[in-house]
Each structure stands twice: as C-alpha cells, then as structure tokens.
Amino acid sequence: MASHLSNGYVNGDSQKTFSLADLPKSNNFTQKLPPDPEYPTPAVSHKTDRSKLGPRLVRSAAYTFVRPVSFEKKELLGVSQAALRDLAIDNATVNTDEFVETVSGNKIITIEGKEQPDDNDIYPWAQCYGGFQFGQWAGQLGDGRAISLFETTNPTTGTRYELQLKGAGKTPYSRFADGRAVLRSSIREFVVSESLHALGIPSTRALSLTLAPEARVRREMTEPGAIVARFAQSWLRLGTFDLARSRGDRDLIRKLADYVAEEVFPGWEALPAKLVSTEEKDAIDPPRGVPREELQGSEDKSEAQENRYTRLYREIVRRNAKTVAYWQAYGFMNGVLNTDNTSIFGLSIDFGPFAFMDNFDPSYTPNHDDHMLRYSYKNQPTIIWWNLVRLGESFGELIGAGSRVDDDAFKKEGVKDDYMDEVVKRAENTIQTTGEEYQTVFLAEYKRLMTARLGLNSFKDSDFEELYSELLDTLEALELDFNHFFRRLSFIMIEELDTEDKRKDVAGRFFHHEGLSGLVGSEAEARARMGTWLGKWVGRVKEDWPTSTEGTEERFAAMKAVNPKFVPRSWILDELINRVEKQGEREILGHVMDMALNPFNEEWGWNKEEEERFCGDVPKFQRAMQCSCSS
C-alpha cells in the first residue's frame, strides 16, 4: 500500500493494539434495544434477499439488522492515525485484505465463516430515527446510508465506540435515495471529523476513507462513490426520541432513555445532581453520585423535584451547551442543525455543508440553501436549545412524573387526569430551568475558551464587553479572518505594543494581503480601532503574566496550544477534493490529514510552501464559500 497511508499522527503511547478481527467487540445496542419486528434477529435479516431490505416505515424499533453492500472495486485512500490509536487498531494491519474488506462493507467479520448468524451474534444494523428539519417535523428518517458493524472498547482507555460505515448501501431508512455517498462529501467528513477532535471539539470520528473508483453515484452530476468508516461513543440523535414521541411510543422512549443513561453514559449515578443555586460555579461543576432512585427537591409535589430522568435530560443539555460553546469559540458551523443532526452525547455530528469561519461574520451560514439563516453562526446556540426543547418534550412525561415515574400504573397507562396538571407543570418548569442551566454552561465554557484563546489566565467581568465584544465587532467591521487573528495574536510581544504608534503598526498584521476592502473605511481608522483593542488586550496580558522573557515564552506556548495554525477551511477542502478526485493525487490527502490531526504545529515537514499556503490568507474569491446539501 502507498506510503501516504502511514503519514499523520505520531503515537507516543504504548498500548495493546489489535487487528480489526481481534478487537474486543460487543453489541449492547442491538441486545438492549428493540429490533425491527419484521427482521427481529440477525438470522432472519441475513437470509432475506438484500434487495427486500429497502425503504419502509419501521415502528416500535430502535434499529433494523441489515448488512452493508460493498462495491466491486475499492481503493483505501486514507486512514486516520489518531483513530487507529483511539480504537487500539494495529497500524500494521491497515493494509491487509481484512481491514480493507471490512471498512468497505464487504466483510462482516463477526459472522465470518458462518452460513447463518446466531441470534446473539454481532450483526450490522441501521438506526431508526426521525427529526425536525428546518423547524418542520420530517417524520421517519433513520440511517439511510449508514450501517453500524459493531461496538468496540479500547482496553487501555476503557472508551467504547460504535464503528459504522457511511455510504454502504440502502437500508429500510433510505426513503427515495440510494444509500450511497459521493467522494466529495466523504473527503469532507473524513477530514473534518478528525480535525474537530484534534482541536478538542467533541465530534464523531473517522477511521478510513475508501474510494469506489468505478461506482457512479448520481447527484446533480454523476460522481464517484466512497465509504467512510466512522465511529462515535453513540450515534443516537435527538431525532431518535422525536420519532418515538411522534408515534406516542412511551415504552420506546423509556427504553431509549434507560439505554442512554446506563450504556452511553457511565450509569445513573454519574449524572449531575440538582443545582443548589444559579451560581456559575455550581452550574459548571455540579456534584454527581446521586443514587438512581433518589428524588431531589424539597417537597414531594414540588415543581422543582428532580428524578433520574431529569438528571439525564440535564446531562444531555449540558453536553450540547459545551459543544456549541466550542463551535462559537472556534468559528465552526455545522450548517444543518436539524434534530437528527444533534447528538445525545453532545458530539458534532453529520458533516454536510459545514465550514470554519473565514472573515468573522455572525450572519454567515455555509449552507447555500439556508435562506432564512436559521443555521448561521450567530443562531447556533439558540437553535441547539430549540432542538433540546423538543427533547424536553419527548422526556416530558418522564421528567414530569416525579416520584410516580416507577409506579406500575404510570408505566403502563401514562399520566392520569387527576395529576396531569402536576406533571405538565413540573415538566415545563424543568425545561425552563434547564434552559437557564444551558445558558450558564454555554457562557461559562465560551468564556473559558475565549480566555484561553486570548492568552489570559483569568476572566474579569469587563472582559466580555471590552475584549470579546469589541474584538468581534472589530473583526466584523474590518472584514478580518477569525482564526488567523488568534494565531497571529499568539506571538505578539508586550514591547511591540507599548506605544500607540506601535500598536497601529502591529494592527496591520491582521489585515489581508490585499489590504482592507474599500467598504470598511480608511486604513488609518482601521489601524486606530485595532490599535485601541490591542492596547486593552496588552493591559490585561500584563495583569495575568510576568513581563519576563520566560513569562512571554510561556504565554506564547499556552496560546499556540489553543490557537490552531491549520483548520480545514472550505477552500482547502475544495482544492483537496479536486486534486484527489480529478487529478488522481493521493498523497495530498495524507498530508492534509496530518495537518488536521496536528493543528497547533508550526510546521509539518511535508512541503513548507504548501503548508504555508494552506495556513495563510484565504484567496480573496474563495472566502465564505457555501455549499449545498447534496452529498
């Protein structure tokens, strides 16, 4: 196999690694949740003609057993070294037939050699979910082109992941589409999943990218197909609960909630305890360890009473609040934040028309079809909360029931008229107070990240107005690049900013190579405005750091470690796609992946000129690109 596959992340740790076949595997998802009643076991699905496993409505189920459909010809284009490490896969096994055949959907290693799988065998499955798309209920969606192979737990880290193929053929959830993915969108997902993770942003991950050179997938044009092998601690989405709720399937909602608490999270006791105050300190790091059955809150009938499902809802909300804070602090936009693209585990998930911000513009959306700007940068925190309110509605009965949640009558028949008001009130109250918690957690995380990005060790109340808002307004007004700003700021010395003239001079480092656009005012005004901001910033740096050489070096190192030199911007991904798909280049993918996996490096030892070009000013006419949803 070509050498480009071994480029990338250098793994310093020593851990036991395995071939894909030898990885420790499990199937808790299919064992603990209800299957599609028409194909209730692996054996029934396996002996069914594959073409019959096509689109239909599936009820009372979390998934359908369904095997992938591979392509005849395949070429492994890339693997992520970081993914290999996190999954405990031996790098030396990547070039084997077993690896390539498994990640391209040709081999089901868990039933290898068997004519028919047994009922308890680990067998591929596609999830059933629904979703609100652009604010409208869209009905059943589900994994229309994703098929999970197995779960695996890394024995060193103890983290369990579900390995899944995207683009591996039709499932009952494919609706009118083909179950395939094109190379273009697969390259984008492969790179960005790993980039987000390397930046510290919770995300689903990507293990490998396989090209099907002869497959022609029809979109606006006919394009080559591809399969991404991807993995996550959970692929459950808010839309999984939406669908059960839309069908009034109370039993499934409860099963799903129990599964999330017991299998996705480390158990009921790991969930956050009731907040005792609205203090930020309490909200950021609430105590945990509440016994499963315990009700928290003063009186039995109190609206504020919390049972275990309330704690679970709050955990899901808190995780998403933190992830959105990361997106805002790093200028990342998902582009289609429908409820089927919002993760129960708080991961960035589903990479369609996503983008990293070029020039700072709060109204920017990378989604060409999002005319209302619903999923624009500035709307992301509000939209994720909108999605989480839908989840609160699905959880409504469970969180509203308070102490009745385990009563047999309630479990069987639901809420009775004589206590309906109490349940509704408690659920509404919980959603409202959880909304406040969402805001507090989001703001606390955003402040933590921005404080670090600005190279400060402390947060002062005045920072919000004077540093954050003023900086963002300035970047927007002067049409300056968001992520470049922070990286360039990371290397400015205090002495360079000790007079007004020097500050105005340094201000020019943040301008584009072609200078300022005519629309932003005179250059002198721009320099003065940025200079004023730099003056405030350096004042805060002096409060937080010693002015010694060591102090400066330490600050440089701290800032460099949180302000990436490389992010996979839309123009870079476009060039990468063009070079791989149209020019037949291969090694470039490994190099870009290496940059994505090590985004804080100064250099990558590949090609200085190319590296600097990818990290430098975005070509003027390729800024703020948009793409459509077709993938």
Among 352, 381, 402, 568, binds ligand ATP (CB under 6 A): 352
Piece of 58-66, 174-182, 251-259, 322-330 that binds ligand ATP (CB under 6 A): 174-182
One character per residue 263-292, x = contact with ligand ATP (rule: CB under 6 A): ------------------------------
Q: Does residue number 350 form part of the binding site for ligand ATP (CB under 6 A)? A: yes
Q: Does residue number 105 form part of the binding site for ligand ATP (CB under 6 A)? A: no
Piece of 109-117, 139-147, 367-375, 458-466 that binds ligand ATP (CB under 6 A): 139-147
One character per residue 146-165, x = contact with ligand ATP (rule: CB under 6 A): x-------------------
Q: Which two tokens stand for residue 290?
A: 């509440």
Closest to ligand ATP by CB, 36 vs 611, is: 36
User: Active-site residue among 143, 242, 340, 358?
Assistant: 340
* Type of residue at 493: M
Cβ contacts of 68 within 8 Å, gap of 6 or more: 105, 106, 108, 124, 147, 149, 165, 168, 169
Q: Does residue number 174 form part of the binding site for ligand ATP (CB under 6 A)? A: yes
Q: 79 and 93 in contact (C-beta within 8 Å)? A: no
Q: Which two tokens stand for residue 56?
A: 């239909």
Piece of 177-185, 270-278, 298-306, 552-560 that binds ligand ATP (CB under 6 A): 177-185
CA–CA distance from 6 to each of 3, 10, 590, 631 (Å)?
6, 10, 8, 28
Piece of 37-45, 136-144, 267-275, 395-403 that binds ligand ATP (CB under 6 A): 136-144
Closest listed residue to residue 364, CA positions, set 512, 564, 518, 570: 570
Piece of 140-148, 151-159, 326-334, 558-566 that binds ligand ATP (CB under 6 A): 140-148
Among 105, 179, 224, 381, binds ligand ATP (CB under 6 A): 179
Q: What is the DSSP string of 278-337?
A: S-HHHHHS--B---TT--BSSSTT-TT-B-HHHHHHHHHHHHHHHHHHHHHHHTEE-S--
Q: Which two tokens stand for residue 173?
A: 């959830």
Q: What is the DSSP string of 233-246?
A: S---BHHHHHHHHH
Q: Which two tokens stand for residue 258?
A: 């129990």
Q: Does residue number 141 form part of the binding site for ligand ATP (CB under 6 A)? A: yes
Closest to ligand ATP by CB, 247 vs 579, is: 247
Kindly state the smallest distance separating residue 200's Cβ from ligand ATP, in Å. 21
Q: Does residue number 184 form part of the binding site for ligand ATP (CB under 6 A)? A: no
Q: Does residue number 144 form part of the binding site for ligand ATP (CB under 6 A)? A: yes
Q: Does residue number 145 form part of the binding site for ligand ATP (CB under 6 A)? A: yes
Kindly state the smallest distance separating residue 352's Cβ from ligand ATP, in Å. 5
**Taking the chain, what is the end-to-end CA distance rounded to the nearest angstrom?**
28
Among 180, 311, 426, 503, binds ligand ATP (CB under 6 A): 180
Chain centroid offset of residue 431 CA: 24
Q: Does residue number 143 form part of the binding site for ligand ATP (CB under 6 A)? A: yes
Q: Is 463 known to be catalytic?
A: no
- The Cα–Cα gap between 100 and 98 comes to 6
Conformational region of residue 200, where left means phi above 0, alpha means psi within -120 to 50, and beta covers everything else: left
Q: Which two tokens stand for residue 321?
A: 């609040």
Closest to ligand ATP by CB, 144 vs 531, is: 144
Sites of contact with ligand ATP (CB under 6 A): 141-146, 173-174, 177-180, 341, 350, 352, 631
Residues labelled catalytic: 340
